Amino acid sequence: MRFKSIPLFKIFGIQVNLDFSWFIVFFLISFTLAEYFYPHYYPGHSFLVYWLVGGISAILLFASVLLHELSHSLVAIHFGIPVREIDLFIFGGVAMIEEEAPSPKVEFLVAIAGPVCSFFLSFVFFIIAFFYPQDDLFNGIINYLMLVNFALAVFNLVPAFPLDGGRILRSVIWAKKDLLTATKISSWTGTAFAYILMLFGILSLIQGSLISAMWYGLLGLFLRNASKMSYEQTKLSLILSKFRVEQFMHTVKPVLPDETISEFMISHYPVYKTNSFPVIGDDGRIYEVNISDIQSVPQSKWNFIRVLDLSHPIEVFVSPYDTLLKALKLMNRYQVNELPVVYGNTVLGIIKRDVIEALIERYYLQEKMQEN
Ligand SMILES: [Zn+2]
Query: Which one is predicted more confidently, 131 or 34?
Result: 131
Query: Which one is predicted more confidently, 40 or 73?
Result: 73
In a domain, 183, yes or no: yes
User: Mean of the per-residue pLDDT values for the chain?
Assistant: 85
* 150 pLDDT higher than 50: yes
| Alpha helices (runs of H) in 207-286, residue ranges in sequence order | 210-240, 245-248, 261-267
What one-character DSSP code corresponds to residue 307? G
Single residue among 210, 240, 270 that ends a domain in this structure: 240
Residues 113 and 129 in one domain: yes
Average pLDDT of span 37-43: 77
Question: What is the per-residue pLDDT across 302-350, written as a single tens digit (0 to 9) for each?
Answer: 888 888 888 888 888 898 899 998 888 888 888 888 888 988 878 888 8
Residues 318 and 169 in one domain: no
Residues 82 and 181 in one domain: yes
In a domain, 219, yes or no: yes
Q: What is the pLDDT of residue 126?
A: 92
Residues 78 and 162 in one domain: yes
Q: How far is the CA of 213 from the centre of ligand 1 (A)?
A: 24
- 3-class DSSP assignment, residue 334: helix
Q: What is the pLDDT of residue 1?
A: 46
Question: What is the per-residue pLDDT across 222-241, written as a single tens digit (0 to 9) for each?
Answer: 889 888 888 888 888 888 88
Residues 295 and 188 in one domain: no
Q: How far is the CA of 61 from the centre of ligand 1 (A)?
A: 14
Question: What is the per-residue pLDDT across 201-228, written as a single tens digit (0 to 9) for each?
Answer: 999 888 888 888 888 888 888 889 888 8
Q: How far is the CA of 115 from the centre of ligand 1 (A)?
A: 6
Q: What is the pLDDT of residue 105?
A: 93
Q: How far is the CA of 72 from the centre of ligand 1 (A)?
A: 7
Q: How far is the CA of 163 from the centre of ligand 1 (A)?
A: 7
% of the chain at pLDDT higher than 70: 98
In a domain, 367, yes or no: no
Question: Residue 237, CB half-sphere, CA atoms under 13 Å: how many?
Answer: 15
Q: How far is the CA of 152 from the centre of ligand 1 (A)?
A: 9
In a domain, 369, yes or no: no
Cβ burial of 266 (10 Å; 0-12, 13-18, 19+) is exposed
Of 37-51, 113-127, 139-153, highest mean pLDDT:
113-127
Residues 155 and 58 in one domain: yes
Residues 57 and 82 in one domain: yes
Residues 189 and 138 in one domain: yes
Q: What is the pLDDT of residue 58?
A: 86
Single residue among 240, 272, 300 that ends a domain in this structure: 240
* 88 pLDDT higher than 90: no
* 353 pLDDT higher than 50: yes
Number of domains in the chain: 2
Give the domain range for residue 147: 5-240
Sheet of 286-290: strands edge to edge? 276-280, 286-290, 312-313
Residues 83 and 216 in one domain: yes
Single residue among 213, 240, 267 that ends a domain in this structure: 240
Q: CATH number of the domain at 251, please.
A: 3.10.580.10
Q: How would residue 264 be classed by pLDDT, with cut points 50, 70 and 90?
A: confident
The Cβ of residue 99 has, within 10 Å, a number of other Cβ atoms equal to 15
In a domain, 335, yes or no: yes
In a domain, 258, yes or no: yes
